[in-house]
């Protein structure tokens, strides 16, 4: 094995160890610090990933929204891993800003999948990640209305899609839960360049595809929830959908 193969794919300076890749590498460290600065947290250089997680948990106790803060740890760890794979296997160039945006986008998908009715609109989270932290007023509304579980014997898929601007890099996500609110599966993925409506339709298409792959082990009744009125309307009345949407779906 050549020495270059064992070097960190981000900085190409140090051997790739778990601690280096996820904590000590200058690239990863910039990502963590950029995120922590948004939350007004000063990060102390950790010994390894475990101690970083412990620091993260400790910090969460003073957070407005500790669940989102904790989730962000896993979102960025996972993003670092995926970005590292893209750099190694696809030769992707390291762009720290893009790298950071991907972490935020992923966190936004996860937030919307886990708390579809609690967090601000998906596009608002992506545009301004700090807004994830201010969910308190809507949490109170949730107590009254909340996520409504599907009827007995049914499952519900909450889906969403987000686009950079009105036409740009897009991502989709979804969360399937049963009548007891138990999460059966969730997904989040990039779908290239697209517009808002098509992206939301793609999210539903992916949800149905995943649901079909589960058939047999779960109920045959599925409820799909989407926050786009047009998309919901077209699903209920497919003949009203524009030709390009019909074709795609």
Report the interface residues with Zn ion, using CB under 5 A.
8, 10-11, 25
Q: What's the distance, CA 4 to chain centroid? A: 32
Handedness of CA 16, 21, 27, 30 (dihedral sign): negative
What is the rounded CA–CA span in Å between residue 31 and residue 99? 8
Q: What tokens were used for 142?
A: 């949730």
Minimum distance from residue 24 beta carbon to Zn ion (Å): 7
Minimum distance from residue 108 beta carbon to Zn ion (Å): 26
Closest CA to 35 of 136, 106, 119, 118: 106
Minimum distance from residue 132 beta carbon to Zn ion (Å): 28
Annotate 209-225 with b (16+ C-beta within 10 A) or e (fewer).
ebbeeeeeebbeebebb
Indicate the residue among 45 and 167 with the shorter CB distance to Zn ion. Answer: 45
Indicate the residue among 8 and 175 with the shorter CB distance to Zn ion. Answer: 8
Indicate the residue among 14 and 101 with the shorter CB distance to Zn ion. Answer: 14
Minimum distance from residue 13 beta carbon to Zn ion (Å): 6
What is the rounded CA–CA span in Å between residue 93 and residue 104? 19
Indicate the residue among 12 and 54 with the shorter CB distance to Zn ion. Answer: 12
């Amino acid at each position: 094995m050549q020495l270059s193969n064992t070097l960190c794919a981000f900085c190409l300076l140090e051997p790739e160890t778990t601690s280096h890749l996820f904590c000590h590498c200058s690239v990863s460290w910039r990502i963590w610090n950029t995120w922590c600065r948004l939350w007004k947290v000063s990060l102390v250089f950790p010994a390894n990933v475990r101690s970083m997680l412990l620091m993260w948990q400790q910090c969460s106790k003073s957070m407005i929204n500790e669940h989102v803060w904790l989730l962000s740890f896993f979102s960025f760890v996972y993003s670092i891993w995926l970005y590292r794979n893209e750099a190694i296997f696809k030769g992707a160039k390291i762009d720290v800003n893009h790298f950071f945006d991907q972490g935020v986008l992923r966190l936004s998908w996860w937030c919307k999948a886990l708390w579809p009715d609690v967090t601000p609109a998906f596009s608002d989270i992506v545009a301004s990640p700090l807004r994830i932290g201010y969910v308190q007023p809507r949490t109170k509304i949730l107590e009254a209305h909340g996520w409504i579980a599907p009827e007995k014997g049914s499952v519900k898929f909450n889906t969403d899609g987000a686009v950079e601007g009105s036409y740009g890099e897009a991502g989709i996500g979804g969360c399937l839960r049963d009548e007891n609110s138990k999460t059966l599966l969730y997904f989040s993925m990039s779908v290239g360049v697209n517009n808002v409506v098509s992206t939301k339709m793609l999210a539903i298409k992916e949800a149905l595809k995943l649901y079909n792959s589960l058939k047999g082990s779960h109920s045959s009744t599925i409820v799909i929830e989407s926050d786009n009125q047009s998309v919901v309307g077209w699903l209920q009345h497919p003949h009203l959908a524009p030709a390009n949407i019909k074709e795609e779906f």
